[in-house]
């Protein structure tokens, strides 16, 4: 029997359909219910204590675990995002301050020049004159 | 779904713990924790080191790392100015940085004249210099 013939045979069997008496159908139905009932409880993982904690959390959420997840996940992602942006901005600011301070400490002008309002105004006047 | 929630919670907890750890580790290097080179470079700050907040300590360590790449004249200036700069108030440092940023915007050929202009300004009679910096009114100071 080649592959094509085998396929035809399977198709033929499938086309005939499955005729089950009501007793077999009932048994299959019961087996399916049992399997589903056994699947529902959360399997206890390696992190036993964490599993207990998660179980408590889920218990607290009651019937709306799905809803809370739909809400909590985006909120958590948002918080993580904000946290990352804040950290990045702080680092950028720190790098900028370090760069400016390094230039102030090494530059031609003494620090007093940058603190002297008179000199700042003097520079502005000179710039306006030119 | 519960597992997803658990994983998420663990990730958040781990992230927070990690941030905390890095803050503790990087945030407060004591003077004794600095390398010998850093201690040598930052020697003028030794007496004040304990009073510096972690952010400023990190900044000074950053400057100490740049130090070997500086020209001898720049190194000498850093050594000379370091203590005075650290003793300024936060407001004075902020003001100096702002003025620096403004001055740094002038074209390079103009920037070269700044030393000359500072000397000219200092040579002005005191009354003329005072005219250029009238005393600030208390109301403006409060701002």
Question: What are the tens digits of pLDDT across the range A9-55?
Answer: 888 888 887 777 888 889 989 999 999 888 866 655 555 555 455 45
Q: Residue B138: its pLDDT value, please?
A: 56
CA closest to B130 among chain A residues = A118
B72, B35 contact by CB (below 8 A): no
* A–B interface: beta-carbon pairs under 8 A: 128
B118, A126 contact by CB (below 8 A): no
> Domain residue spans in chain A?
76-130
Of A84 and B16, the structure prediction assigns the larger pLDDT to: A84
Q: How confident is the model at residue A69 (pLDDT cuts 50, 70, 90)?
A: confident
Which stretch of A124-128, B7-11, B57-61, B128-132 has the lowest confidence by average pLDDT?
A: B7-11
The predicted-structure confidence for B22-77, as pLDDT tens digits, reads as follows 443 444 799 999 999 999 999 999 999 999 999 999 999 999 999 999 999 999 99
Tokens 């359909």 — which residue? A17
Calculate how close chain B gets to A25, using CA atoms only, in Å. 32
The predicted-structure confidence for B92-118, as pLDDT tens digits, reads as follows 999 999 999 998 888 877 778 888 899
Q: Residue A118: its pLDDT value, please?
A: 92
A95, B65 contact by CB (below 8 A): no
Residues of chain A in contact with residue B115, where contact means CB-CB under 8 angstroms, are: 108-109
Residues of chain B in contact with residue A108, where contact means CB-CB under 8 angstroms, are: 114-115
Residues of chain A in contact with residue B79, where contact means CB-CB under 8 angstroms, are: none
Contact A113 B95 (CB under 8 A): no
| HEC sequence for chain B | CHHHHHHHHHHHHHHHHHHHHHHHHHHCCCHHHCCHHHHHHCHHHHHHHHHCCHHHHHHHHHHHHHHHHCCHHHHHHHHHHHHHHHHCCHHHHHHHHHHHHHHCCCCHHHHCCHHHHHHHHHHCCHHHHHHHCCCCCHHHHHC
Q: How far is CA B90 from the centre of its chain?
A: 10
Q: Residue A83: its pLDDT value, please?
A: 97
Tokens representing residue A45 in the block: 């993982």
Tokens representing residue B103 in the block: 């001055």
């Amino acid at each position: 029997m080649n592959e094509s013939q085998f396929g035809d045979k399977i198709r033929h069997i499938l086309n005939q359909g499955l005729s089950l008496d009501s007793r077999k159908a009932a048994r299959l139905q019961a087996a399916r219910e049992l399997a589903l009932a056994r699947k529902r409880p959360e399997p206890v993982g390696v992190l036993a204590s964490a599993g207990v904690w998660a179980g408590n959390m889920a218990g607290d959420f009651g019937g709306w675990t799905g809803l809370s997840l739909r809400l909590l996940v985006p909120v958590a992602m948002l918080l993580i995002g904000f946290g990352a942006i804040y950290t990045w901005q702080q680092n950028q600011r720190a790098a900028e301050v370090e760069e400016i301070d390094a230039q102030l400490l090494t530059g031609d002008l003494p620090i007093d020049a940058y603190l002297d309002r008179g000199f700042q105004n003097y520079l502005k006047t000179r710039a306006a004159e030119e | 779904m519960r597992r997803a929630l658990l994983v998420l919670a663990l990730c958040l907890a781990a992230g927070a713990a990690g941030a905390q750890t890095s803050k503790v580790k990087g945030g407060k290097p004591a003077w004794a924790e600095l390398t010998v080179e850093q201690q040598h470079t930052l020697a003028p700050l030794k007496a004040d080191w304990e009073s510096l907040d972690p952010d400023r300590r990190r900044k000074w360590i950053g400057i100490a790392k740049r130090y070997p790449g500086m020209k001898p004249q720049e190194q000498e200036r850093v050594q000379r100015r370091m203590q005075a700069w650290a003793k300024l108030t936060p407001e004075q440092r902020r003001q100096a940085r702002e003025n620096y940023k403004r001055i740094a915007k002038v074209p390079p050929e103009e920037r070269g004249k700044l030393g000359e202009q500072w000397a000219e300004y200092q040579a002005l009679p005191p009354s003329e210099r005072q005219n250029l910096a009238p005393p600030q009114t208390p109301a403006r100071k409060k701002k």
